[in-house]
Amino acid sequence: MRLLEVENLGLGFGGAGILRGVSFGVGPGERVALVGESGCGKSMTLHALTRLPPTDAANVTGEVRFMGAPLRGPHPRISYVFQDPMASLDPVMRIGRQLREACVEPGEGRAARDARIAETLRAVDLRDPDAVMRSFPCELSGGMCQRAMIAMALLRNPALLVADEPTTALDATTQADVMALLGRVVRERGMALLLATHNITLVAGMCDTVNVFYAGQIVESGPAREVAGNPLHPYTRGLMAAVPRISGRRAADLRDIPGEVPSPAEIEAECRRDGGWACAFRPRCAFAEPGCGAALAPRRLGGRTVVCKNKPLEVS
pLDDT digit string (tens) for the chain, length 316 residues: 799 999 999 999 877 789 999 999 999 999 999 999 999 999 999 999 999 988 887 889 999 999 999 999 999 999 999 988 888 999 999 999 999 998 888 888 989 999 999 999 999 999 999 999 999 999 999 999 999 999 999 998 999 999 999 988 788 888 889 999 999 999 999 999 999 998 888 888 899 999 999 999 999 999 999 999 999 999 999 998 887 766 656 555 677 888 999 999 999 889 988 778 999 999 999 889 888 899 988 999 888 999 998 754 555 4
Domain boundary among 157, 189, 205: 157
| Nearest Cα residue to 140 out of 91, 102, 189 | 91
Q: Tell me how far apart the alpha carbons of residues 56 and 230 are, in angstroms, rounded to a whole number.
A: 37
Beta-strand ranges (E) seen in the chain are 4-13, 16-26, 31-35, 59-66, 69-70, 78-81, 160-164, 192-197, 209-214, 217-223, 246-247, 250-251, 272-273, 276-277, 299-301, 304-306
* pLDDT score recorded for residue 301: 86
Cα(first)–Cα(last) distance of the chain, in Å? 31
**CA 135, 136, 140, 145 torsion: positive or negative?**
positive
Which CATH number fits the domain that encloses residue 223? Answer: 3.40.50.300
The 3-state DSSP class for residue 98 equals helix
Domain total in the chain: 2
In a domain, 127, yes or no: yes
Q: Tell me how far apart the alpha carbons of residues 309 and 287 are, in angstroms, rounded to a whole number.
A: 10
* pLDDT score recorded for residue 316: 47
Domain boundary among 157, 180, 213: 157
In a domain, 289, yes or no: no
191 and 172 inside one domain:
yes
103 and 49 inside one domain:
no
In a domain, 305, yes or no: no
Domain that holds residue 198: 4-77+161-261
Q: Tell me how far apart the alpha carbons of residues 166 and 146 are, in angstroms, rounded to a whole number.
A: 8
* pLDDT score recorded for residue 249: 60
Write the burial class of residue 189 (CB in 10 Å: 0-12 exposed, 13-18 middle, 19+ buried): middle
92 and 210 inside one domain:
no
* pLDDT score recorded for residue 166: 92
Q: How far is CA 135 from the centre of its chain?
A: 29
166 and 254 inside one domain:
yes
Q: Are 30 and 227 in contact (CB under 8 A)?
A: no
In a domain, 115, yes or no: yes
Task: For the beta carbon of residue 265, count every other beta carbon within 10 angstroms.
Answer: 12
Q: Tell me how far apart the alpha carbons of residues 3 and 161 are, in angstroms, rounded to a whole number.
A: 12
